[in-house]
Amino acid sequence: MRYTLAYYITPHGFGHAVRSLEVIRQLMASHENLDILVVSDLPQFLLDENVGRPLSQRRKRVDVGLVQKDSLQFDLEATRTSLADLYGRRHSVVEEEIRFFREKGVHAIVCDIPFLPFEAAALYGIPALGMSNFTWDWIYQAYARWDARWDALVEWIRESYEKCGHFLQLPMHGDCSACPRRQDVPLVARKVRRSRQETRRTLGCEADQKAYLIAFADLRLNDAAQRRLEAMSDTLFFYKKPLSFEFSNGRCLDAFSLPYTDVVAAMDGVITKPGYGIVSDCLVAGAPMIYTDRGFFPEYEILVQEMNRHLSTVYLPSADLYSGAWETALKNLEALPVRHVRVDDAGAAVCAEVIWKALGGAHA
């Protein structure tokens, strides 16, 4: 028998996508009689880079996440307005998802971590699993403390999560208690495939040359900031599109055919904001981190605590990040001993097995 799984992925940040696609890759490698439909408006390159084979995608967004101004700043009022609009459309959204289940013959769903599909799955009568380190009600509840207009929206979201049949709770998690049946699972993260030396040779790094990864989806540095980085002529800075810089010691990774995790493992440090995906990559690779603040986001403190517990880290204020005043942070990081506390990163296989059993159990 062939099975069809609909996998919903929030496009809020790439961390949700990276870990979900690792689980999908595991499922596709283990079960040839499984068709997976990704439901998200994620960019196509993420799917191509992380799965390694064609993957069906239905370009639709069924959650709001946070409306971002850039990688570090978000607009809470725009977020609340968008969420209120989704609430107003909730019945039609659920009905559309049920039609999608029927048309595609969907046997089960997984969400990381949109909530409305749980409503549709409950009405349609198919298994519904979640996988994440937080649920959106926990994030939004933090803002409700200062603005009561969030309260009704948070309660609605919790009611949707209550229909999640099995929640795979990742490490470094917040309060996921809205999902009644939770199972702790190991870290879901991409594996390092190449040696540090091999990757650095491919990147053209000399033996005594410092190399750092700029890991942001969006970072706008003015000309003065870029000239400050260019003055650090003994250091190379690597980045991926859509980032675009014009300083002579900057290198775009799109010119190299290298997995992102291999690049992370080959760096002297990663310059980033604490997000689940990049923190997971650094934990697996043992990569030192220079991190900045990202506004008030409840996940932040949990991630920083785990980074400091497992890795060498240095804090870089956002004002210094934007001005290109990175040299002191780099020197401080280089003065630290490299720390790498091993983590259990077998989560993709564990999650894939639970999902597969849910599919089979539905038609046993």
- pLDDT tens for 215-262 read 998 899 999 999 999 999 999 999 999 899 999 999 999 999 899 999
On whether the 3-188+346-361 domain is CATH 1.20.1090.10, my answer is no
The band of 353, judged by pLDDT with boundaries at 50, 70 and 90, is very high
Six-digit token pair at 317? 């204020």
- pLDDT tens for 299-339 read 999 999 999 999 999 999 999 999 999 999 999 999 999 88
- Prediction pTM value: 0.95
CA distance 159 to 87: 12
CA distance 199 to 161: 42
Q: What pLDDT score was predicted for residue 364?
A: 46
Identify the CA nearest to 255 among candidates 244, 266, 247: 244
Cis peptide bond N-terminal to 271, omega within 30: no
- pLDDT of residue 294 exceeding 90: no
Asked whether the beta carbons of 213 and 238 are under 8 A apart, the reply is yes
Q: How many C-beta atoms surround the C-beta of residue 75 within 10 A?
A: 13
Domain coordinates in residue numbering, the chain: 3-188+346-361, 196-334
Place of tokens 């799965």: 51
Cis peptide bond N-terminal to 242, omega within 30: yes
List of long-range contacts for 43-50, beta carbons under 8 Å, 24+ apart: 46/14, 46/17, 46/18, 46/21, 47/21, 49/259, 49/260, 50/17, 50/18, 50/21, 50/22, 50/25, 50/190
DSSP 271-310: EE---HHHHHHHHHHT--EEE---SS-THHHHHHHHHHHH
Q: How many C-beta atoms surround the C-beta of residue 327 within 10 A?
A: 14
CATH, domain range 196-334: 3.40.50.2000
Fold agreement between 3-188+346-361 and 196-334: yes
The pairing of strands 166-169 and 34-39 is unpaired
